[in-house]
Structure formats: structure tokens, C-alpha cells
Amino acid sequence: MANGTVQAVRPVSDPDRIGRIGPTEGRGLSPAGCGTSGGSLVVFVCAGCGATLSAPVERVVLPDHAHRQWGNGVLMPVLMEPGTYAVDPARWGPPWRPWDEVGEAGAAALGVFAPVYRVSLGAAGAVVLAPGDVRGTVLVPERCVGYCCGLDGSSGPNLACTRCGRMVGARIDDCSLWQSVRLEADAVRRVGGDSECPGWEEALAAARWEKAPGGPWPERPLELWNRAVAYEGVWEAAAGVALARLVAVAAGVRMVWEGPLSVLFSAAWEALFPVGASRLRVALAGPGVGEPDADVLVVPVHPRSGAVWRPSGSVPVVPLAAGAWAHLALPGGPELAVVSGRVPEEVLRGEVSVEMLSCRRSRPDREVFLDVLARLPQVREPGVRAVYDRVRGEWGLF
């Protein structure tokens, strides 16, 4: 949703000048995941012959870490929960073209507003499923491209409809990649209506991540260690998405983080904006928490519909993945929450329990941060673009 209504926060705070992020911008926020009452589950069928290509599935939001790769040689878990599907709102997959070849205007037309290594000219709207929920397809050996341990989907579809032979999607399971099947938007049809979404409180309670980020590094064989880090990366990806959105609305402004938000964002924010006079208060807001008096509110994304929770006032919001938001905001969460050895203790003191300092880092994911920020129209504003360029050019800034 490229529009001109979102403005960056100026160093001298004026809440009326803070823009708002629309609910449909960027990855993981596609709307309309839920249907009306009477809808049930959806089945995907081949657009060519009508053959069934999936088990009955229910729509959810695409996880923030869907495109993130980790480690080397590590067999990754399955991306999607059994019985669910997501629609990837971003263009992803081949053909890829170098930034220089596509050009700024060409990239913008494809939804990328800052330089990236390569731009996907692939179609948006792929249907993402767990491999176990796919039916009636066969791998096409000559289309099975990968590197060393499996298939990476880098040459496009590698799965054909068993009945009619039409290429319908790609199975992806090479090392470092979350296992999934991506059905091409124009190769399948959806049969049935999405079921009605549960209300906010029920949906958030169900989506709440039980495992806290941070914690001691697992003492495991290397391959399991890698995998444990990948799970940790789920938190880091969610924080990376939210950090990109925070930068889009408040680049250059110093922040006061309320409660557990500090451990997710304060170290990265201080690295990005070490000086400055003004201080904006950032707080969690949402169902069961209400609307604290703050300048920016971190609110949940509905895990089924993708809707962003809205406060009643005009305070700008930054969406956070439902599982992360619920863990931090709902009872039983904050005391277990993240811990970052990289957060200066004085920043944390008085805001979170000192016990939380004992565990290891948790940081926003740099790659996810850059990927999301490059797709936000606000990255064209000089202050935001400067942050993007700096993070891109400086490894390990946060």
C-alpha cells in the first residue's frame, strides 16, 4: 500500500505528525485471512484439471521468518503448522535480477524501494503449505534444483499435478531453508470459504509463543545447535520486522521502552540512534492490555486475519507478530521474556527484572530488518534511507 500518508517522526516530538502504518503494507500483513460464519476449511485444486492438491487447510499469517535462511548444512523444521496455509504477499522466487539491471523505478514497481542485491520478478501471492498437507503432486526430476541436501526452488516449480502434468509449485527443503511447498497463485484454485476468525483474545492466547527468546546456548551436537539457533531466529525475525516498522515511523528519535520491549529493541535502537534529545515512549498495547499513555504503541497482528489491532486514538502503531506480542504482553509472559547481554544494564534497570540479564542476547534479525524496510515506501525518505544504508553497509551494527 504505497501512499503518502505515512510520515517519519521528527526529532521534536509531535504525536500529530507521526504517521500510521497501514494494515496491508509489507510482508506478513496481508488482510482478509478469515471468512464469514459458515465457511469451513479450504482445499486447493489444480487450476488445469481440478484435481485436489491439498488437505483441508485454514488460513494464517505467513511467519515473519519465512524467507530467512540459517546456518549451513542444517536440516530445517517445517515452516507451516499442519492444517494451515498462508499467502505470501511479496514477490519471491525466480526469475531474479540484479538491482542495477532492474533500476530504481523498475524495482519500485515490483514493491522494492531501496537497493537490494537482487529483485524477484516472481509472482506474488504464492500459497505456502506444509509439505505433508500437499496431495496429488509429483516431483519433476529435471526441475529439482538444489545445492547439497535437498531442493531449493531456485529454478521455479518442481512439482507437477499428478493428473494433468501442469507445473503447480515448488517443494523447498534444502539445508538452511524452512521446509515448505509453495503453490503458484495462478496454478491453483481455492475451493471452499475460509472459516470465521476467532476474536482477538482467543486468537492471541492460542498463538502465544511459549518458549522465551534468549536463554542459555544449548549444549548440543553442531547440527542440533544450528537448529536451536534457527528456532531462536523466529524471535529475531519478529523483532526485525517490528524494528523496520519502528524505523519507518520514528527514525532519529530516541525512545523510552516500556517493560519487556526494552529487551527486544533497546540495544538495536541505541546502536542506530545513539544521540538525540527527544524521547518518545513506546509501549505494548492491545487486547487485555489496553492503551497505555505512550507516543508509539506496539500492537499485535491477528494471527489468522493479518489485521493490525487498532487503538481508539490516533497514536501510531507498530505491528508485532502475534506469538511474540502475546508472550510479552499476556500474563505469564514478561517475567520469562527476553534477555539480552548486549543491552546496557542501566537501560534495563527499572524497566525489567534484573534476573533477565543473565541470559544471552536476543536481537532483531538484520536480514529480515533490511528485507522489510526495503519494501516500505517510507524508506525513500532521506532519514529512513540513511538508516537502511548504514545497516546494509555495516555488519554487526546490532
Residue 368's identity, in one-letter code, is V
- Cell 537448529 sits on residue: 227
Closest to Zn ion by CB, 73 vs 95, is 73
Closest to Zn ion by CB, 157 vs 334, is 157
The DSSP call for residue 42 is: B
Work out how close the CB of 174 gets to Zn ion at its nearest, in angstroms, rounded to a whole number. Answer: 6
Closest to Zn ion by CB, 146 vs 333, is 146
Work out how close the CB of 53 gets to Zn ion at its nearest, in angstroms, rounded to a whole number. Answer: 8
Distance CA 346, CA 142 (A): 58
Closest to Zn ion by CB, 68 vs 208, is 68
Work out how close the CB of 151 gets to Zn ion at its nearest, in angstroms, rounded to a whole number. Answer: 11
Work out how close the CB of 193 gets to Zn ion at its nearest, in angstroms, rounded to a whole number. Answer: 22
Distance CA 321, CA 300 (A): 6
Distance CA 45, CA 56 (A): 11
- Cell 523498475 sits on residue: 106
Pairing of strands 279-284, 254-257: parallel
What is the Cα 308 distance to its own chain's centre? 13
Distance CA 240, CA 268 (A): 10
Work out how close the CB of 187 gets to Zn ion at its nearest, in angstroms, rounded to a whole number. Answer: 9
Pairing of strands 126-129, 84-88: antiparallel
Work out how close the CB of 47 gets to Zn ion at its nearest, in angstroms, rounded to a whole number. Answer: 8
Distance CA 117, CA 63 (A): 23
- Cell 503518502 sits on residue: 4
Using alpha carbons, select from 44, 210, 205, 272 the residue that is nearest to residue 136.
Answer: 44
What is the binding site for Zn ion (CB under 5 A)? 46, 48-49, 51, 73, 148-149, 161, 163-164, 166, 175
The answer to whether the peptide bond before residue 95 is cis (omega within 30 degrees of 0) is: yes
Work out how close the CB of 110 gets to Zn ion at its nearest, in angstroms, rounded to a whole number. Answer: 29
- Cell 534495563 sits on residue: 348
Distance CA 160, CA 134 (A): 12
Using alpha carbons, select from 282, 273, 232, 235 the residue that is nearest to residue 251.
Answer: 273
Work out how close the CB of 168 gets to Zn ion at its nearest, in angstroms, rounded to a whole number. Answer: 7
Closest to Zn ion by CB, 116 vs 167, is 167
Closest to Zn ion by CB, 159 vs 321, is 159
Work out how close the CB of 51 gets to Zn ion at its nearest, in angstroms, rounded to a whole number. Answer: 5
Closest to Zn ion by CB, 119 vs 151, is 151
Closest to Zn ion by CB, 24 vs 52, is 52
Closest to Zn ion by CB, 75 vs 124, is 75
Bridge partners for 120 per DSSP: 96
Work out how close the CB of 63 gets to Zn ion at its nearest, in angstroms, rounded to a whole number. Answer: 22
Distance CA 177, CA 67 (A): 8
CB atoms within 10 A of CB 32: 12
Bridge partners for 257 per DSSP: 282
Closest to Zn ion by CB, 139 vs 148, is 148
